[in-house]
């Protein structure tokens, strides 16, 4: 029999993605806190070469999955990505096929909680998640992505 963790109450999930180049080396950052600001968990991971939007979605998915593992029944997802917030809230359509897949995964995770809220926050209120995302990029570049070199720019055809 599997024992579920006790419900920690409302968890606030701050998430951010970083890509150096678009696409380029990318990372995700997640900071999960209680309402009083107490740190519950932190994620800083490299995800390889990706676009900024893929990194933003990947961070939200990782944060939501971790909040579910922690037994949360209520979450507040905060991001400085207006596109992510508007798409997850259903106010913007998702046109890109890759983002459609990630959107579906994030929406499924949101459905695991009794109550969810999604908020856009200014970048200055998301600094810890941003720092974690950049640590993820640095870790990927120092390890698995050590041999990464950006692609050559496309030739200019009409000059």
23 preceded by cis ω (within 30°)? yes
Quick one: what percent of the chain has pLDDT higher than 70? 96
Segment 102-119, tens digit of pLDDT: 999 999 999 999 999 999
Cα 107 to Cα 102: distance, rounded to the nearest angstrom: 9
Average pLDDT along the chain:
94
Longest dimension (CA), the chain: 69
Per-residue confidence (pLDDT) for residue 141, from 0 to 100: 97
pLDDT bracket for residue 152 (50, 70, 90) = confident
- Given a cut of 90, whether residue 9 has pLDDT beyond it is no
Model-level pTM greater than 0.95? no
Segment 43-86, tens digit of pLDDT: 999 999 999 999 999 999 999 999 999 999 999 999 999 999 99
Contacts 24+ apart (CB under 8 A), 85-93: 85/118, 85/119, 85/120, 86/120, 88/60, 88/118, 89/118
Segment 127-150, tens digit of pLDDT: 999 999 999 999 999 999 999 998
- Rg (alpha carbons) of the chain, rounded to whole number: 17
Cα 4 to Cα 41: distance, rounded to the nearest angstrom: 18
């Amino acid at each position: 029999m599997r024992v579920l963790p006790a419900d920690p109450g409302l968890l606030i999930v701050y998430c951010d993605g970083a890509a150096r180049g678009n696409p380029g080396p990318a990372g995700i950052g997640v900071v999960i806190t209680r309402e009083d600001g107490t740190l519950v968990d932190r994620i800083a991971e490299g995800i390889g070469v990706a676009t900024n939007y893929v990194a933003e979605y990947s961070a939200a998915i990782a944060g939501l999955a971790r909040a579910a593992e922690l037994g949360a029944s209520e979450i507040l997802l905060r991001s400085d990505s207006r596109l992510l917030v508007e798409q997850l809230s259903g106010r913007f359509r998702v046109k890109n096929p890759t983002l459609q897949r990630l959107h579906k995964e994030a929406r499924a995770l949101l459905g695991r909680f009794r109550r969810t809220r999604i908020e856009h926050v200014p970048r200055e209120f998301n600094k810890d998640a941003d720092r974690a995302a950049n640590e993820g990029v640095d870790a990927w570049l120092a390890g698995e992505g050590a041999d990464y070199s950006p692609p050559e720019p496309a030739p200019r055809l009409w000059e």
